[in-house]
Amino acid sequence: MVQSAEGTRAVALELCREFEDKFLAHITSGEGSGWKIVASFEGKFPDRIKQLPLDRHFDLNNVKRIVLEADGYQPYLISPEKGLRSLIKGVLEMAKEPSRLCVEEVHRVLLDIVNAAANATPGLGRYPPFKREVIAIASNALDTFKSDAKNMVVALVDMERAFVPPQHFIRLVQRRMERQRREDELRNNRSSKKGQDADQSKTNRASSPQTGSDEAGGSLKSTKDKSNQQDKDAKEGPNLQVAGPGGEITAGYLLKKSAKNNEWSRRWFVLNEKSGKLGYTKKQEERHFRGVIVLEECNLEEIEEEEISKSSKDSKKANGQEKGQGPSLVFKITNRVAYKTVLKAHSAVILKAESMADKIEWIKKIKGVIQSKGGSVKGPNTPEDGSMRHSRSDGSLDTMARKPADPEEELRWMSQEVRGYVEAVLNSLAANVPKAIVLCQVEKSKEDMLNQLYSSISAQSNAKIEELLQEDHNAKRRREKCQKQSSLLSKLTRQLSIHDNRAATYANDSSGAESSPRSPGHSGEDWKSAFDSAANGSVNRSSSQHETRSRSADSRGRRYENGDANSGSRRTPNRLPPAPPSGGRY
């Protein structure tokens, strides 16, 4: 280990980086137990949600008890809304426990991954105190993330319990009423046809000429003239324009009742049956609508003109006397929800056709759009219109609303609708709780936990880090043993290399002596034997040494012959100098 403060801290941070690599490998690549996180999301948690005792809570007796307790001393008037809301809150409360258990399972999986990553990090195995410190820091961070995840999943459940949107129940009621209306229409189709035939026969008898007083004759004549005028209008047909590939666009003039001055204004209306919208402009040439009515949210009702007039009582009497002189051309469009508006700030729009043919065509078109979206169509409250009166008495939505219902059956139906909503919310929680757990636990463990690890180690003092970086005794013993073996091996290697060098030097000296010019034959044989041995791939060491010794003995014999008996080397001969010449001048 580096014997300095900076070196010790660098070693600690390097070990943290090694642990980070192993931990991320276990989380992202499935090398360890990362797959268990997904298994808990797809296996145990959905099973616990499905095993909630919904049947026991939505039992009719239990629903009655909850409704009775929620209303207190004043029973509900129309619908047990307090009781149903209390039932929803009580059932959704049960979803908290499976969510908490899922958080606990993911927490245990993350702890296992931390331990596995620490064991798989080679450097941490060398320093057990530091390894324990890393695991402790990571475990504390995971405990914090577990608490955050529990708070998050409980908040998701409380969010669903706190606010129950009404749109779900409105659509359910509309579909139920539409289904019941169709069943009543099919059941009363024959009786309705008979009633229309009876009304037609009465009308024919009333319009036939009869003898009597002048006043009665005048009345019958005026009635006949009006009937002829209606037939004439019907024969002429509606004065409307139809466009579009399938004739889904209808346009024409209608009179619109003004809410400010209570007067009629002639406006150009355009109906798009495909989009279910009715827009109007002031003139036919305009290209931008001044207002648009969404018919799929509305109801249609035929009314009489005297119902909307604001005249005096004498005027009302006059209108009452003239009532029956001609059918009404007025109809009203209202929103299905009482407190919502239809157009701008108006809760109702009153329209009037220019002729009976136009009214019939407009009613037919608008009625088709509204009924296809689950809306209702009401007829006028006049006894003269026999067909609409009969339809009101034969299974229309207005009649259905006034039908006396069995309270117990109504409560059973409401509990079924509430159960459908609760099951939809539980399915939503089964999809959203895993998202919250991944965000609060898994993703934070990949970022915040590792950041806390680095910051905690960096905040430690040098003495504390040196204390943590104490080697294990077994590891230290193994390391010292390896070092001792390594030193012995290096010493032996050096000794062997020295002996090899000496042998090589001795061989080179022997080769140089044999390669002297006095013995050319031996030198050639040595080279030949060397090449042959290299070609054969094997060298007989003992034979080469024997030949070397024999050649060295021969060379020493020749040196004796040359007077080199005391010579230790060819290069430094030990010969006596020659004698001086005799008879010199000295």
Question: At which of 473, 495, 529 does a domain end?
Answer: 473
CB of 184 within 8 A of CB of 192?
no
Q: What is the mean pLDDT of residues 372-393?
A: 51
In a domain? residue 488: no
* Least confidently predicted of 178-187, 242-251, 369-378, 548-557: 548-557
Check whether residue 288 and residue 161 sit in a common domain: no
Judge whether residue 294 has pLDDT over 50. yes
3-state DSSP percent of the chain in helix, strand and coil, to 5: 65, 10, 25
Give the pLDDT of residue 536: 57
Considering only CA atoms, give the Rg of the chain.
Answer: 54
Mean pLDDT of 498-526: 65
Do 257 and 365 belong to one domain?
Answer: yes
402-413 pLDDT per residue, tens: 444 567 777 888
In the structure encoding, which two tokens stand for residue 171, read together?
Answer: 């659509």
494: in domain: no
State the pLDDT confidence band at 433, using cuts at 50, 70 and 90: very high
Structural contact between residues 138 and 447, judged by C-beta atoms closer than 8 angstroms: no
Residue 176 domain flag? no
Least confident of 86-90, 387-391, 418-422, 475-479: 387-391
| C-alpha dist (Å) from residue 247 to 242, 273, 300 | 6, 9, 22
Q: Give me the mean pLDDT over the 266-279 stretch.
A: 89
What per-residue confidence (pLDDT) applies to 96? 94
Same domain flag for 381 and 428:
no
Amino acid occupying residue 162 = A
The reply to whether 90 falls in a domain is yes
- Write down the mean pLDDT value for the chain: 75
What does the pLDDT average to over 553-566?
A: 48
* Whether residue 151 sits in one domain with residue 51: yes
Please, are residues 196 and 387 in contact by the beta-carbon 8 Å criterion?
yes
Q: How far apart are CA 568 and CA 509, in angstroms?
A: 13
Q: Which residue has the tokens 């139809």?
A: 242
Question: How would residue 515 be classed by pLDDT, with cut points 50, 70 and 90?
Answer: low
Q: pLDDT class for 388, splitting at 50, 70, 90? A: very low
- Indicate whether 162 and 248 sit together in one domain: no
Q: Are residues 295 and 359 in the same domain?
A: yes
What is the C-alpha separation between 113 and 441, in angstroms, rounded? 13
Residue with the bigger pLDDT between 141 and 73: it is: 141
Could you tell me if residue 554 is inside a domain?
A: no
- Between 288 and 477, where is the model more confident? 288
Q: Are residues 154 and 256 located together in one domain of the fold?
A: no
pLDDT in tens, 25-68: 888 876 677 788 888 888 889 999 999 999 999 998 988 888 88
Are 447 and 304 found together in one domain?
no
pLDDT at res. 225: 54
Domain count for the chain: 2
Res. 103: pLDDT tops 60: yes
The domain that holds 291 is classified in CATH as: 2.30.29.30
> Which distant-in-sequence residues (6+ apart) come within 8 Å of 381 by Cβ?
303, 304, 307
Tokens 């009582």 map to which residue? 313
Give residue 448's domain range: 5-171+409-473
Q: How far apart are CA 180 and CA 400, in angstroms?
A: 8
pLDDT at 534 over 70: no
Residues 387 and 418 in one domain: no
End-of-domain residue from the set 425, 444, 473: 473
Kindly state the average pLDDT of the residues 497-508.
81
Q: Determine whether 41 is exposed, middle or buried from the number of CB atoms within 10 Å of its CB (0-12, 13-18, 19+).
A: buried
Q: What percent of the chain has pLDDT over 70?
A: 67
For residue 202, tell me if it sits in a domain: no
Q: Could you tell me which residue, 45 or 345, shows the higher pLDDT?
A: 45
Q: Work out the pLDDT band at 180, boundaries 50, 70, 90.
A: confident
pLDDT at 394: 40
Q: In this structure, are 149 and 28 located in the same domain?
A: yes
Residue in the block written with tokens 């809570």: 57
With 70 as the cut, is the pLDDT of residue 281 above it? yes
Examine the pLDDT at 125 and tell me if it is beyond 70. yes
C-alpha to C-alpha distances, 549 to 48, 137, 519, 558, 561, nearest whole angstrom: 95, 75, 15, 14, 19
Tens of pLDDT, residue by residue over 62-85, are: 888 888 888 877 777 777 888 888
Q: Which of 376, 378, 412, 402 shows the shortest CA–CA distance to 392?
A: 378
User: 228 versus 190: which is more confidently predicted?
Assistant: 190
Q: What is the CATH number of the domain that holds 445?
A: 1.20.120.1240
- Are 117 and 239 members of one domain? no
- 240 and 379 share a domain? yes
456 in Cβ contact with 137 (< 8 Å): yes
Instruction: Specify the 3-state DSSP secondary structure of 265.
Output: strand
Query: Which among 429, 447, 473 is the end of a domain?
Result: 473
**Rounded percentage of the chain residues whose pLDDT exceeds 90:** 21
Which of 195-204, 346-355, 520-529 is predicted with the least confidence, judged by mean pLDDT? 520-529
Structure tokens at 517: 């010019």
466 vs 426: which has the higher pLDDT: 426
For residue 552, tell me if it sits in a domain.
no
Domain membership of residue 416 (yes or no) is: yes
